[in-house]
């Protein structure tokens, strides 16, 4: 049997919300909090807050890596960012925060990884996919860039084998009629599928596919029909997981209300190739609003280890 780990943050105006939280599930539908709903890891460097997580299990050594946006709105929005998302888009999150572990319970201290050069504005929402063709990992994220005066954002990527050395960033995908953010890539039957949030035309989540992890990507129109009933401009941060029965669960982060009312809503499809996702709120439950994260498939032994671990020990390996 397989279980599931959801790495996420909480939508709060206090600094404890923008830390590392874990959620667990034995079936992908019913979720429980870890550590009493408190953070399992804290940030001490950079903005001293993190958002927009991804987690991966390295195929080479089995080691786990968490990457996150180095950004604290609770500290910075009123301070260095002067209440401006435009300023964050130019000057916020120049690095990714990274943690490593061999067992999902004992983690290294936070380190900051700088990927872009002076031409990049923000580096937001990292995600990781294993590229079987190149036998390395493709780290991708959304950024503003000097090439269009830090206007509409695009998706960029670099390659790594060890999560310490990274290739020079390249453009992965740009949408001509709007900015795009929050990319999430998955492989199914040798094809790669990328969910992104389109910031216009439509202001919704869209799905793209490619024969290669680094593209080129083309639109999956069947998915557009799945999103027809979803309100524009209220959902972001897509993340998906393949269930044990072969179905896919797609979670979209609803941010259409202030505060604790935000969190993920679920959609289910038989396959990514089919592209037809059905909203399925009644089949899922969360202990609170999980915000912008990623789901990792884990074993039942790993599930029990995380569930039973004493997270009050703040020591680092």
- The pLDDT of residue 279 is 96
- The pLDDT of residue 317 is 60
- The pLDDT of residue 312 is 87
Q: Which residue has the higher pLDDT, 299 or 116?
A: 299
Sign of CA dihedral 315, 59, 271, 236: positive
Model pLDDT for residues 260-316, shown as the tens digit of each residue: 889 999 999 999 999 999 999 999 999 999 999 999 999 999 999 999 999 987 666
Note if the pTM is more than 0.95.
Answer: yes
Is pLDDT at 205 greater than 80 in this prediction? yes
Mean local confidence (pLDDT), 183-204: 98
Decide: 220 and 208 in contact? Cβ < 8 Å. Answer: yes
Is pLDDT at 122 greater than 90 in this prediction? yes
Torsion of CA 123, 128, 41, 10, to 10 degrees: 70
Query: 6's torsion region: left (phi>0), alpha (psi -120 to 50) or beta?
Result: beta
- The pLDDT of residue 313 is 75
CA–CA gap between residue 289 and residue 216 (Å, rounded)? 34
Strands in 218-219's sheet, in edge-to-edge order, are 180-188, 191-198, 205-210, 218-219
**Radius of gyration, CA atoms only, the chain:** 18
Mean local confidence (pLDDT), 84-110: 96
- The pLDDT of residue 259 is 84
Domains located in the chain, CATH noted:
3-308 (2.115.10.20)
- The pLDDT of residue 290 is 97
- The pLDDT of residue 316 is 62
Model pLDDT for residues 207-235, shown as the tens digit of each residue: 999 999 999 999 999 999 999 999 999 99
CA–CA gap between residue 185 and residue 208 (Å, rounded)? 9
Report helix, strand or coil for 37: helix
- The pLDDT of residue 260 is 82
Mean pLDDT of the chain: 96
Q: How confident is the model at residue 125 (pLDDT cuts 50, 70, 90)?
A: very high
Residues with Cβ within 8 Å of 256's Cβ and at least 6 positions away in sequence, in order, are: 231, 233, 234, 235, 262
């Amino acid at each position: 049997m397989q279980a599931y780990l959801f790495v996420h943050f909480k939508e709060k105006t206090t600094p404890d919300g923008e830390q590392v939280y874990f959620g667990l599930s034995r079936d992908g539908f019913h979720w429980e909090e870890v550590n009493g709903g408190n953070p399992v890891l804290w940030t001490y460097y950079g903005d001293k807050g993190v958002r927009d997580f991804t987690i991966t299990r390295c195929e080479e050594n089995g080691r786990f890596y968490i990457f996150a946006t180095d950004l604290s709105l609770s500290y910075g929005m009123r301070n260095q960012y002067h209440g401006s998302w435009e300023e964050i888009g130019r000057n916020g999150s120049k690095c990714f925060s990274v943690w490593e572990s061999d067992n999902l319970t004992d983690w290294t201290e936070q380190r900051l990884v700088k990927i872009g050069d002076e031409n990049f504005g923000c580096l937001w929402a990292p995600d990781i996919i294993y590229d079987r063709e190149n036998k390395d990992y493709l780290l991708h994220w959304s950024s503003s860039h000097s090439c269009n005066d830090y206007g509409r954002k695009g998706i960029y990527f670099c390659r790594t084998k060890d999560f310490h050395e990274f290739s020079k960033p390249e453009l992965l995908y740009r949408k001509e009629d709007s900015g795009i953010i929050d990319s999430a890539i998955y492989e199914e039957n040798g094809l790669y599928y990328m969910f992104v949030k389109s910031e216009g035309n439509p202001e919704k989540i869209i799905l793209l596919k490619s024969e290669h992890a680094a593209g080129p990507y083309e639109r999956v129109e069947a998915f557009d029909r799945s999103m027809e009933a979803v309100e524009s401009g209220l959902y972001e941060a897509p993340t998906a997981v393949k269930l044990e029965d072969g179905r896919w669960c797609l979670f979209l982060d609803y941010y259409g209300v202030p505060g604790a009312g935000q969190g993920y809503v679920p959609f289910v499809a038989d396959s990514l190739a089919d592209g037809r996702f059905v909203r399925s709120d009644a089949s899922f439950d969360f202990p609170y609003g999980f915000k912008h994260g990623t789901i990792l498939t884990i074993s039942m032994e790993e599930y029990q280890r995380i569930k039973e671990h004493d997270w009050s020990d703040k020591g680092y390996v």
